[in-house]
């Protein structure tokens, strides 16, 4: 398993390319901007893009997804609730000229080479926010950050929902699971249990 992180766009969103080294298949998570940088990173990795998976529908995480789909002929997956917000042109949400290829189901499994990636519904930052759990990694989008949680003051946000998502879905993962958020630095589930002020009762 090989991971590459890019920081893209004016909001410094994290885009991840996760590759299975045995098969050279990869998944691109949240290609939000800086298309040329994303393409160069994919091509440098010499991997075959199997999926483009979006943690949520905000433009800083979706902005380059259609161009990546066109170039690599790979399907885009997103939660249908967030695509509905995109269709309504709600503030902060991105746009798509064509419908996504895949609408996520909770606990859906995607196989990328020998890796199995599990979709975990984690609403709150947006109605359709999801996280992706694979091996000892969880990609949390804007649900969970190092020492914080995502904003809930944008359209579709719900503070109680995001706290429930973090406490009951993400904190159920093993303590040594690495947290790879949509912005900022990585953490771990164990560290967030101890140091994240939003998790204190």
Mean pLDDT score of the chain: 97
Q: In Å, how far are 4, 50, 151, 159, 166 from 28, measured between CA atoms?
A: 10, 8, 24, 28, 23
pLDDT at 124 over 70: yes
> What per-residue confidence (pLDDT) applies to 201?
66
| pTM confidence score | 0.97
- The CATH number of the domain holding residue 66 is 3.60.15.10
Report how many domains make up the chain. 1
What per-residue confidence (pLDDT) applies to 200? 80
Domain coverage including residue 112: 2-199
Confidence of residue 98 (pLDDT cuts 50, 70, 90): very high
Average pLDDT over residues 4-22: 97
């Amino acid at each position: 398993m090989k991971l590459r992180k890019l920081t893209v766009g004016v909001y410094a969103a994290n885009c991840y390319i996760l590759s299975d080294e045995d098969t050279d298949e990869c998944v691109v998570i949240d290609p939000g901007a800086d298309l040329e940088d994303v393409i160069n990173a994919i091509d440098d990795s010499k991997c075959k893009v199997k999926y483009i998976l979006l943690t949520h529908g905000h433009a800083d995480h979706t902005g380059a997804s259609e161009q990546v789909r066109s170039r690599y002929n790979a399907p885009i997956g997103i939660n249908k609730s967030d695509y509905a917000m995109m269709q309504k042109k709600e503030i902060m949400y991105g746009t798509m000229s064509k419908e996504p290829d895949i609408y996520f189901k909770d606990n859906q499994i995607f196989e990328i080479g020998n890796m199995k990636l599990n979709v975990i519904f984690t609403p709150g930052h947006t109605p359709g926010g999801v996280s992706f759990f694979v091996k000892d990694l969880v990609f949390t989008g804007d649900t969970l950050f190092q020492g914080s949680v995502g904003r809930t003051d944008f359209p579709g946000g719900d503070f109680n929902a995001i706290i429930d998502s973090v406490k009951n879905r993400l904190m159920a993962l093993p303590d040594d699971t690495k947290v790879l958020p949509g912005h900022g630095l990585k953490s771990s589930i164990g560290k967030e249990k101890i140091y994240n002020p939003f998790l204190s009762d």
